[in-house]
Amino acid sequence: MRVTVRLFARLRDIAGAPDLAREVPSGSTAADVWRTLVAEFPEMARYDSSISTAVNADYAKMTTALSDNDEIAFLPPVSGG
Amino acid sequence: MRPVAVTPDRLDLEPLLRLVADGGGHGAITSFVGTVRDNNVNRRVTHLEYEAYEPLAVKALEQIVDETVAQWPGIRIAVHHRIGRLAIGEASIIIACASAHRANAFAGCRYVIERVKQIVPIWKHEFFDGGEVWIEGATANPTDEAARLEAVRRACA
């Protein structure tokens, strides 16, 4: 199935793009997609324990199972205000 | 004027004050204006660029408004966050809070800014003399009750 990965701040800089289209196995979770990203961009590994995720613009857990055409966002620690 | 917004436009507090003041039951209105500082950890800051995951940032701000009303019933809140490039001294966030009495108005205002820093998906890119860095604060977890209670504690300190 196909998902769109949205990246922000430092993660976007590391990937060199704000979004990536990725083909992932059916039943993949947010964590699965994160692991493939880290394999592709090893510099992202340092966010393993600080990342948050959102699916279709709602906060989600890393264990969330994805569906075809989902938008999955990975959020580094936030710094608004 | 919406009570919650994420916008590239310059922020103006006056309409937010009018919005929360609607009706006559409020004896106190507080406001908070977060501005771009010219220094950070011994760096001379030249400007900031704010980036947001906009649809989720708006939802997170709405959640914070709901939490604030649940904590201090009757309170009225408006909060706007700016994104894009901001010069030194410009406002990055404005909050207005109306309540019957000053204690809740101050507490509500403080609570909103504490929660913004905890959970809203907005990032600050700092540009300074000699480089740039993404500022990274809290891991956003909107259901972390300990974090929420810490914001309440700070608001009431």
| The predicted structure's pLDDT at residue B112 | 98
Q: Which residues contact A76 (CB under 8 A, 6 or more apart)?
A: A8, A9, A10, A11, A47, A50, A51, B123, B134, B136
Comparing C-alpha atoms, which of B33, B29, B18 is closest to residue B108? Answer: B29
How buried is A74 (Cβ within 10 angstroms: 0-12 exposed, 13-18 middle, 19+ buried)? buried
Q: How far is A4 from chain B (nearest CA, A)?
A: 14
Which residues face B81 on adjacent strands? B6, B93
Flag whether pLDDT at A32 surpasses 80.
Answer: yes
- Judge whether A26 is closer than 8 Å to chain B, CB to CB: no
Closest-approach residue (CA) in chain A for B56? A57
- Judge whether A57 is closer than 8 Å to chain B, CB to CB: yes
Which residues face A29 on adjacent strands? A65
Q: Which residues contact B69 (CB under 8 A, 6 or more apart)?
A: B75, B77
Flag whether pLDDT at B22 surpasses 90.
Answer: no
Flag whether pLDDT at B135 surpasses 80.
Answer: yes
User: Are A75 and B120 within 8 A, CB to CB?
Assistant: no
Residue B100 banded pLDDT, cuts 50, 70, 90: very high
DSSP secondary structure string, A8-57? -HHHHHHHTSSEEEEE--TT-BHHHHHHHHHHH-GGGGGGTTT-EEEETT
| The predicted structure's pLDDT at residue B116 | 98
- Judge whether B93 is closer than 8 Å to chain A, CB to CB: yes
Residue B24 banded pLDDT, cuts 50, 70, 90: confident
Closest-approach residue (CA) in chain B for A49? B139
Three-state SS letters, B33-48: EEECCCEECCEEEEEE
The residue written with tokens 């509500």 in the block is: B108
Flag whether pLDDT at B25 surpasses 90.
Answer: no
- Judge whether A77 is closer than 8 Å to chain B, CB to CB: yes
Q: In what order do the strands lie in the sheet with A52-55?
A: A19-23, A2-7, A71-75, A52-55, A58-60
Tell me if residue B89 falls in helix, strand or coil. coil
Residue B34 banded pLDDT, cuts 50, 70, 90: very high
Q: What integer is the mean pLDDT of B135-154?
A: 96
- Judge whether A52 is closer than 8 Å to chain B, CB to CB: yes
Residue B23 banded pLDDT, cuts 50, 70, 90: confident
Flag whether pLDDT at B117 surpasses 90.
Answer: yes
| The predicted structure's pLDDT at residue B33 | 98
Nearest-5° Cα angle at B116, A5 to A32: 25
Q: What mean pLDDT is reported for chain A?
A: 98
Supply the pTM of this predicted model.
Answer: 0.97
Distance, CA of B47 to CA of B73 (rounded, Å): 38
Flag whether pLDDT at A59 surpasses 80.
Answer: yes
Candidates B59, B125, B139; nearest CB to A77:
B139
Tell me the chain B residues in contact with residue A77 when contact means C-beta distances shorter than 8 Å. Answer: 136-140
Closest-approach residue (CA) in chain A for B94? A81
- Judge whether B135 is closer than 8 Å to chain A, CB to CB: yes
B50 close to B122: Cβ distance less than 8 angstroms: yes
Tell me the chain A residues in contact with residue B135 when contact means C-beta distances shorter than 8 Å. Answer: 79
Give tens-digit pLDDT for B46-78. Answer: 999 999 999 999 999 999 999 999 999 999 999
| The predicted structure's pLDDT at residue A44 | 98
Token representation of residue A30 = 């947010």
Residue B1 banded pLDDT, cuts 50, 70, 90: confident
- Judge whether B112 is closer than 8 Å to chain A, CB to CB: no
